[in-house]
Amino acid sequence: MCHGPEGAGAPPYPGSIQGHADLWPVIRDGMGEMPAFPQLTVGDAAAIEAWLASLVADAAPPTPRDVYATECAACHGANGEGAQRGPQIRNPVVPYATWVVRNGRPGSGYADAMPPYGEDELTPGELDEILGWLSAMPKPADGAGLFRTFCANCHGANGRGGPVGEGIVGEGVGEWIEVVREGEGGRNYGRRGGYMPSWSRAQLTDAEIRLMYEAVAGGRRGGARAGEEEEDD
């Protein structure tokens, strides 16, 4: 019901578990939202592992997208859109995202923490391709969608504070633009609550920041206004 009839994923857990090993501790004790199965034995777990392994034994070498489907999609959604187990990760800040993948991070409001992935589990080439694919996701055109993609993971869906970020609805649009351009904490990525990435005008234009401000804090519709020119062009 959760992993699909052949372990390739299902809506509650969209990631594939085909080829996964060391399942016995999870089956025995449960993990996060997955319950324990005391009725299953070590031998049962070994049989399940062997069957899952048989499904990928003759498959071609996995592509980075296959690796994403196996390792990332269960928490972050099939296309990085986010899921019940983890936040959306589209249009990532690549240096910070790389640090998080290599070092892991606490759950921050989710059932499970994110484990670190070493280069033996996710090669630099695979990680670069995955982050490149996520970076190429089209940006939303509306202010609310932009805010969800770039800000809500930290500052909350309504801008009034989230797992690791303060509320920002009391700031003016000028402050928003300044903070987005400068960020906070440099490359001190592990500084919880004290790090914020910076975005260049190529990543977020002033007009897009203004749309986010209007949608969340400015009280206006947060959509593109007729005849408005972007200062960045």
pLDDT 10s digits, 158-207: 888 777 777 787 778 899 999 999 988 888 887 666 788 899 998 999 99
For the chain, give the percent of residues with pLDDT over 70.
91
pLDDT for the residue 184: 87
CA dist., res. 219 & res. 213, Å (int):
8
**Cβ atoms of residues 105 and 51 within 8 Å:** no
Tokens of 205: 């234009």
One fold for 64-135 and 143-216? yes
pLDDT value at residue 227 = 34
Assign domain 143-216 to its CATH architecture: Orthogonal Bundle (1.10)
Q: May I ask the CATH class of domain 64-135?
A: mainly alpha
Return mean pLDDT, the chain: 85
All structural domains of the chain with their residue ranges = 24-54, 64-135, 143-216
Q: How confident is the model over 23-75, as pLDDT tens digits?
A: 999 999 998 788 999 999 999 999 999 999 888 876 777 888 888 988 899 88
In degrees, to the nearest 5, what angle opens at C-alpha 146 toward C-alphas 103 and 217? 110
Residue 233: per-residue pLDDT: 37
